[in-house]
A and B are shown apart, each in its own frame.
Chain A
């Protein structure tokens, strides 16, 4: 029994008003479905039903695209300085409603309130602020003197950072003068629907933003709709390839942000305590539901014992439990389906001969939970070293030299991110130059900023979100 037991410190749910049921947000209003049906969204921590949401049918999607098309002319013709002010308003309202949005996100997604409060929601507001400022400065963005928008963008986002992924898609699209139809993930629709309310509060012209909730079929109907000019997708590599195929057939512009199996490389001259924090942050932040997660630890053999001892000790202080408890570090797995996938791959890891370890962890009786898990004795040939698990599971491999670390890090069809831990500057820069990854974190991990371009090499997708580079996806260049 530890001396210092933290008592429950629950964040109150009373700040959030969840409706019993939600329609679709089309042309500035919430509207009933014409050819869809209802489905439920639950809290993955307790399995309680949070609300009834609409699965949009093909006609609903068509209505939404038409609304976006109708709104496109006046929106793109609006003086850019005036367009920017709508985005500034949205950013401000997000800040005003920050606490409410954080609680809602944690309820619907399962991630700890500390993360939605301190990471997700502040970044959401920041993305809108950043891109608001680009709306009237596009001639300085390096895409020519008068770059034009593309038209109507169809956007499909995942469940791991629901509102943040929405911000990454909508903010640059609107700033460049496009209008959007966005489909949030089926397990996490609620903050997107709250965002629809925020659009109304900001008096955003109707039709500029449309939210159609639903699952795979709705997403397919959207990305294949002939009325859209641009597809943006974040999700699994498997679905991303399907979308790429369909866009290849139609010639439609698309950007994809897909999976990863990032190597987090720790050298013997690393600042060990901070490297351990970085490893933990890299794979256990957001329950490992992170495309750029540092899911492969590559540790230099000479410091293997030291790092693993320190890491295991550190995992002992991770707190798993109620996402709304302010002291929770590790929340719920987002869905039963995802939990099954994580379990399956972990069992495969054991079967392949890797050694499995978790700190002692009490899992709540209801909801979807998986303890932070480390596999040691992993080699490149193991499936758990190659396949994205998308859960709190770390595969540990070793290396002897920087060249070997590069080889192993790059030996994957993915290429989203990588981590490098060393106190030596020249080594960092050389590693960064050689790693085939769209984001390299040196002596840190999982850091995001609207000014910083994010995206992958190889099968982790193409296109960049964030920064000046992030405008390209939404301009006719």
Chain B
């Protein structure tokens, strides 16, 4: 017989994160998330196409403010996210262990890598223009320069495995230069992403810059891939067959499609490609004469 004074835990309700708020799915549905031992962990919100639509609207609304902020400001905000993640390190380690069945050491390494990944991307905000932009020596009395600019609203399918580090690794590069994101978390392991939304909500990230949906990739992703107000899509979290379907749907408005060809090693320092994928290049000419 258990001790009558044993404390009963207050368990968290895992909701969506849209426009800076935490709504349930408008469909009222949820789905069962299990831990690595197939035990019940939580009922996560099961996002519908309407939630995806609302998330895109929120992301679009947040785009002018976020892309209009200085690069310095965005870098500060991303660094603040890392600070708050560090504060919740123990919570994240526990959630990642439960979800993926990692050892304590491996879970800690994954969480530390996720925090350090935010810091790495935070430091790119005010440098990517210097690496990617240029002044171009055209043959004529013109000043000519090329600038990278954020593409707009990016839909991201987070990897199924690597519930926190993988999630961070696909979301941070999309927002660092000013684009805003609708991300579909890992379908089997969505809970660390939802906890990360709580960090985003309390870390000066404006509402709508990152919107987190949980649910079935096969159900929600096609709606994002075909949405005419989404400018780019990261297909990482989709399996091969679905990737083809989504890539085709994305062509209706010529979305920029990021389609990794080799499996990602989430622990390695990434190349620049995930940032560059969401940058347009604007070239400006101006005469130079008295």
Contacts and interface: CB of A to CB of B under 8 A. Distances in A.
Bind each other: yes
A129 interface: yes
Nearest to A85: B119
Category for how many chain B residues contact A: 20 to 34
Contact of A133 (B75, B272, B287, B288): B75
A398 to B, nearest CB: 17
A430 B124 contact: no
Given A402-B290, A425-B286, A137 B124 contact: yes
Nearest to B116: A81
B76 A133 contact: no
Contacts of A85: 116, 119
B123 interface: yes
A265 to B, nearest CB: 12
B15 to A, nearest CB: 31
Interface stretch (B3-11, B125-133, B149-157, B207-215): B125-133
B120 interface: yes
A430 B119 contact: no
B255 to A, nearest CB: 27
A84 B123 contact: yes
A312 B80 CA distance: 46
B31 interface: no
Interface string A112-144: 000000000000001001101111110011100
Nearest to B113: A81
A247 interface: no
A431 B290 contact: yes
Category for how many chain A residues contact B: 20 to 34
Name the residue in B76, B119, B286, B288 with the highest tally of chain A Cβ atoms < 10 Å from its Cβ.
B288
A121 B288 CA distance: 36
A403 interface: yes
A467 interface: yes
Contact of A88 (B79, B124, B131, B290): B79
Nearest to A95: B76
A426 B71 CA distance: 27
Name the residue in A135, A426, A433 with the highest tally of chain B Cβ atoms < 10 Å from its Cβ.
A426
Contact of A430 (B122, B123, B131, B289): B289
Given A81-B116, A468-B130, A427 B290 contact: yes
A451 B126 contact: yes
Contact of A467 (B120, B130, B141, B287): B130
B289 A133 contact: no
23 contacts: A81-B120, A84-B119, A84-B123, A129-B79, A130-B126, A130-B127, A132-B123, A133-B123, A133-B126, A134-B123, A135-B123, A136-B269, A140-B131, A141-B131, A403-B290, A425-B287, A427-B290, A429-B289, A430-B290, A431-B290, A451-B72, A451-B126, A468-B130
Kindly list the 10 A-B residue pairs having the minimum CB-CB distance in the complex, ordered from nearest: A133-B123, A429-B288, A402-B290, A426-B287, A429-B143, A430-B288, A468-B130, A426-B289, A430-B289, A430-B290
